[in-house]
Amino acid sequence: MTILIRGGEVLTPEGLQVLDVLVEGDRVARLGEDLHAPAADVVDATGCWVGPGFVDLHVHLREPGHEWKEDIASGTAAAAAGGFTLVVAMPNTDPPIDSGHLARFVTERARLVGHCEVRPAGCITLGRAGAYLAHLDELWDAGVRIFTDDGDGVADAGLLRHAMEYLAERGGVVAQHPEDPGLARDGHMHEGSVSARLGMAGLPALAEELMVARDLALVRETGTRYHVQHVSTRGTLRLIAEAKAEGLPVTAEVTPHHLTFDHSRVETMDPDYKMYPPLRTPEDVDALVAAVRDGTIDAVATDHAPHAAHEREVPFEEAPRGVIGLETAFAATLAAVGPDPQLLFERLSIAPARILGAERHGVPVQVGGPANLVVVDPTVVWTPTTFVSRAENSPWRGTELTGRPVATIHEGMLTHHDAVVGR
């Protein structure tokens, strides 16, 4: 397949330049002005940014086990529509990805039906039950590099220390969903003025901060690479900034919804605002946006968490947690941090690829470089009403957004091409 991306502002190793990009096979073949390729599919990128395809460190594809919510085919199609060429699938499936053959299933299935590359994350503990180590050796041999019990934190410090010691030898990343189970007990939303008025049990900021503080002490001892998932509080940001200043091997991600909404949204009682960690205060939102700009946060990750419509037709407290985010990630992040293409590609592609060690992703556009690319229009206005994802539980559903991927190219193949919208 030959693809000519014409007239876009291209993120190259030398910075942004208006260039044509010719893709042949799985490589960028040529960069230049007024390129011609008569047989090529042409993507008009006038007014668009062209850069490395987005990389999401945190998605739930729900396969195996929860295919009525999403599966690898539908989830990766949503990823492609959102500009992603690589996603990391969380292991809280049924069965959980706690051994080698299950990780291989996800990788192989994605190769067969996927619209982007999928790298499974593996469990830290067997069955995500928090009692024994998962088959970290098998998972590693199956290519897993990120380990997490996402959905729950690993509460047992002794067990986490063992996992860290084991993975430190190999360079694996321990990714933590930081939530102290005692402090978070029965909570459904941020503990604060809104939860007090609504009479809902709260998830205090401290539940996140306490576990991160503990984990950082373990990182200091073990030297393990540690990644904080979906940071939501100012206190966590302070801990991460201090750890980075100290030189600890720590990285962090934030979701677009935590960069956008605060806890007052829960007053609508709409389960599309239910997520763990919960939406925090306006001050936390501001601090998270600042942290994306200053580098305390390395990556924007969606925590794409699809649920079927009927599962949300219940009261807020009984609704499942999480919202989808792949298709709105670019627009939401753009709205939060502003029209800074270098920063956006860094947080949505380059940094997450680096954390993952994915050499064919997050590479600025260059001749001979991998053809994992995205073309985004930063000015097109659109309103998400339907989704490529099987699910619709998006807090942005029906909300006007600015900015959208026009085309996504994965290993030289067009996996998404928005020929209509905004063209």
Partner 1 sequence: MNNLLTTEDLSRETLDRLLDLSDEFVEVLDREIPKVPPLRGLTVATLFFEPSTRTRISFERAAKALSADVMSFSPGTSSLKKGESLKDTALTLRAMGADIMVVRHRAVGAPWRVAEWVDVPVVNGGDGAHQHPTQALLDALTIRRHFGKLDGLEIGIVGDIRHSRVARSDVYAFATLGAKVTLIAPRTLLPRDLEGWPCTSTGDLDEVLEQLDVVYLLRVQAERGGATAFPSWPEYVGRFGLSRERFARLGEGAVVMHPGPMNRGVEIAPEVADSDRALVLDQVRLGVAARMAVLFTLATGRGLTREVTA
CB nearer to partner 1: give 264 or 342.
264
CB nearer to partner 1: give 189 or 355.
189
Calculate the alpha carbon distances from 108 to 46, 113, 154 in Å. 37, 9, 28
Residue 167 Ramachandran class (φ > 0 left, ψ -120 to 50 alpha, else beta): alpha
Two structure tokens written together for 86: 């690589």
d(Cα 27, Cα 122) in Å, to the nearest integer?
30
| Burial group, residue 2, by CB count within 10 angstroms (0-12, 13-18, 19+) | middle
For the CB of residue 201, give the shortest distance to partner 1 in the complex, in Å: 8
Single out the residue of 144, 145, 204 nearest to residue 180, CA to CA.
Answer: 204
For the CB of residue 198, give the shortest distance to partner 1 in the complex, in Å: 5
For the CB of residue 194, give the shortest distance to partner 1 in the complex, in Å: 8
CB nearer to partner 1: give 295 or 320.
320
Annotated catalytic, 303?
yes
CB nearer to partner 1: give 204 or 370.
204
Can you give the binding site for partner 1, defined by CB under 8 A? 186, 188, 191-193, 195-200, 202, 269, 310, 313-318
CB nearer to partner 1: give 170 or 185.
185
CB nearer to partner 1: give 91 or 306.
306
CB nearer to partner 1: give 69 or 360.
69
Helical residues (DSSP H) of 142-225, grouped into ranges: 157-168, 181-184, 193-198, 205-222
d(Cα 39, Cα 245) in Å, to the nearest integer?
52
For the CB of residue 287, give the shortest distance to partner 1 in the complex, in Å: 19
For the CB of residue 196, give the shortest distance to partner 1 in the complex, in Å: 4
For the CB of residue 202, give the shortest distance to partner 1 in the complex, in Å: 7
Name the amino acid, one letter, at 387.
F
Catalytic entry in 272, 303, 377, 418: 303
Single out the residue of 95, 110, 171 nearest to residue 355, CA to CA.
Answer: 171
Provide the 10 A C-beta neighbour count for residue 420: 6
Name the amino acid, one letter, at 395.
P
Give all strands (DSSP E) within 262-412, no chain letters: 299-300, 373-382, 401-410
- C-beta separation of 46 from 8 below 8 A: yes
- C-beta separation of 52 from 364 below 8 A: yes
For the CB of residue 190, give the shortest distance to partner 1 in the complex, in Å: 10
Phi then psi dihedrals of residue 199, to 5 deg: 70, 25
DSSP state of 373: E
Handedness of CA 417, 253, 353, 357 (dihedral sign): negative
Phi then psi dihedrals of residue 32, to 5 deg: 170, -175
Question: Any idea which residues carry the catalytic annotation?
Answer: 303
